Amino acid sequence: MKFKKIAMLAASAFAVFSVVPHVSADTNVQKVIDETYVKPDYVLGYSLDQSQIEQTLSLLNYDGSKDKEEWKTMTPEVYSSIMNVANDDSLELYSSVKIQKLGKNKPLEVNIVTPQNITKVTADMYRNAAATLGLEHAQITVASPVQVTGESALAGIYYSLEKNGAKVSQESKNLAQEELTTLAGINEENAGKKNFDADKLNVALTDIKTAVANAKNNKKDLSKDDIQKIVEETLKNYKLDGAMSSKQINLIINFAVNLSKSNVVSNKNFTKTLTDLKDSIVDKAGDTFNNINLNFDANPIMKDSGNFFTNVWNAIAGFFVGIWNAIVKFFS
């Protein structure tokens, strides 16, 4: 009878252990690109007039004889739906994008063909945000015939993906948009400042996201203090701490906190995409990264931090050890 009760208790404990939820991110974004974007897809801004449409299509190298016969239009209604904001008919949307697949060994590419007209967002900012969205290897081309901030182009990417069957969670969209807005705002505020460099900020962010992802995938429960340490030490490594205000640093901390709570980091290819992005930025940056430790790893900073999942596993292991000892004692 005693043995039966112990066995039932052990079975109950195993049942509790087996239903610990496993959370994974939507990973079909890249799959949809690989399978659907054999021909490039185009999303044009709603505010373009006919001559601007023709100009933009030309800038994006649209070929009516080879490409898809129709392009998509980013209307205010579509934008409000995708971005989960109120519909505003007065919204001006000029940024336009082309998305096409690349081979698996190719990095994520973004080409702004009208850099003079995209005033706030750089190609690498788009790439960082696209990686957060779940893209791993693709080519994105951005154009606008008039001067715009360029932030709405990311919504065009969401729209294209969703219309082609990708499941892009609102969480992923919010994070990617937060990241792009944060990077663009910091870059604009620090333009011309001696100690600030946009390439360093983009690379620092790839390291921050990698550190958060690695910690979460190793089942480390990150506190806000942990994440603050990651951000501050990473920015210090890239010699950006003295160039950025506390408000700007807090924006990055808040983004990293939101990222740590998301399913985005559980995508198994997320950190590889970030490494590829980091390498490509460094390669084209010349001597910008001289005397910078490019192998910096922020994870050891948190080695003494509390870990909820480790405590749970240890408690479960201890429980089973206790049961085993009870069984041994019963039969001895």
Model confidence, pTM:
0.80
State the total domains in the chain: 1
Q: Is residue 157 part of a domain?
A: yes
Q: Pull the structure tokens for residue 41.
A: 């897809």
Q: Is residue 332 part of a domain?
A: no
Q: Is residue 285 part of a domain?
A: yes
Query: Distance between CA 223 and CA 242 in Å, rounded?
Result: 25
Q: Inform me whether the pLDDT recorded for 25 exceeds 60.
A: no
62 Cβ contact list (under 8 Å, min separation 6) = 42, 71, 98
Q: Is residue 319 part of a domain?
A: no
What percentage of residues in the chain have a pLDDT greater than 70?
82
216 Cβ contact list (under 8 Å, min separation 6) = 222, 260, 265, 266
pLDDT at 65 (0 to 100): 82
Q: Is residue 322 part of a domain?
A: no
Range of the domain at 232: 28-311
Q: Inform me whether the pLDDT recorded for 331 exceeds 70.
A: no
Q: Is residue 327 part of a domain?
A: no
Is residue 68 helix, strand or coil?
Answer: coil
Q: Inform me whether the pLDDT recorded for 204 exceeds 50.
A: yes
Q: Is residue 1 part of a domain?
A: no
Q: Inform me whether the pLDDT recorded for 276 exceeds 80.
A: yes
Query: Distance between CA 183 and CA 179 in Å, rounded?
Result: 6
Task: Read off the pLDDT of each residue in 147-176 and give the average, rounded to a whole number.
Answer: 92
pLDDT at 20 (0 to 100): 35
Q: What is the per-residue pLDDT across 210-247, written as a single tens digit (0 to 9) for each?
A: 999 999 888 888 999 999 999 999 999 999 999 999 99
pLDDT at 329 (0 to 100): 52
Q: Is residue 39 part of a domain?
A: yes
